[in-house]
Amino acid sequence: MKFEIVGQKGEARAGRLHLPHGIVETPVFMPVGTLATVKSMLPHELEGMGVQMILNNAFHLHLRPGADVVAQARELNKFQNWKKPILTDSGGFQVFSLAKLRKITDEGVHFQSPIDGSKHFFTPESVIALEEKLGPDVAMILDEVVAHPCTYDAAAKAMHRSVAWAKRAQAARTRETQSVFGIVQGSLYDDLRVESCQATAEIGFDGLAIGGLSVGEPPDEMYPIVDLCCKNLPQEKPRYLMGVGTPRDLRECVARGVDMFDCVLPTRLARHHVAVTREGNLTLLRARFKTDFAPLDENCACLTCREYSRAYIHHLCRSNEISAARLLSWHNLHYYQEIMRNLRAEILS
């Protein structure tokens, strides 16, 4: 991997991330394709709207269809017919969200599958081996995410465990063509975040991620932590803010020096009949859209806005048609890509 900064405005950076499956222009938003698919969308549709990179989840792909199946298909890109770069999340967030089904020790994580009840054991080493078999361009290490609110002692314990796991993950790497990112933890405690930034950066990862946010804290508590982390991470490495992604979050955190984002929000909102627009979120189920024949967003050039009205999408939502989720996902994802293109252009200008 090669990362170059080609423009800067304040703390905001425009860069290029050179990966085996192509060059990614940053700042970049990666749609979430947990199970090797971005819900309701096809790869060529994503590529057509300018998506440069997507996120898959190693935890879920381990459960189904299994890394061996993906390997037989010649890795994730061939398996899902996606020609551009892929990043895989390790499953650290799932360890957090499936708290009733797991037990964390210093060695690793014992967990029970939410699908069939089968028992599994994840270690920093086994996760690296899993991601090397899946074959993404960028792999995330196993870390421990804590809830919000969280006591100082609990946050410190999880942060130190994450650093120890990070060292083990780096030592387990065997695939030179795959980049690996470390993850910074520490909840909302400044000293823990600074310690985590310094300790994780010293390990020598290809990039650094800010984890453990967007777990319930308000934006006015999250943004200072992002700011603090960016100031304590190496300038020459890409910075990835995990799981954060309202339009305001993207703008605020690009301004603080973040290069990469992912979030389920655009497609999740679409499945709940919500369009993200310049005038705010529109819930298309509401009766006021029944005879509204305007596009979702007058200034949007996506397929949905060019060819369909609010009234028609309202009808699809009320009728529980699958195409409602597709059209809203198409718009929301296009809108997010447009936000990133505009931010990059502003930095470069």
CB 119 within 8 A of CB 63: no
CB 55 within 8 A of CB 87: yes
Query: What are the catalytic residues?
Result: 89, 262
Give which of 133, 142, 56, 139 is closest to 93, Cα–Cα.
Answer: 142
- Pairwise CA distance, residues 2 & 18, whole Å: 5
CB proximity list for 124: less than 8 A, separation 6 or greater: 108, 141, 142, 165, 166, 168, 169, 172
| Helix (H) or strand (E) segment spanning residue 322 | helix 322-348
- Pairwise CA distance, residues 122 & 120, whole Å: 7
CB 22 within 8 A of CB 52: yes
Residue 31, judged by CB atoms within 10 A of its CB (0-12, 13-18, 19+), counts as: buried
Three-state SS string over 220-270 comes to HHHHHHHHHHHHHCCCCCCEEECCCCCHHHHHHHHHCCCCEEEECHHHHHH
Distance of CA 11 to the CA centre of its chain: 21
The token duo for 306 is 């060019």
What contacts 24+ positions apart, CB below 8 Å, involve 153-158? 155/185, 155/186, 155/187, 155/188, 155/189, 155/192, 156/186, 156/189, 156/192, 158/185, 158/187
Residue 274's SS3 state is strand
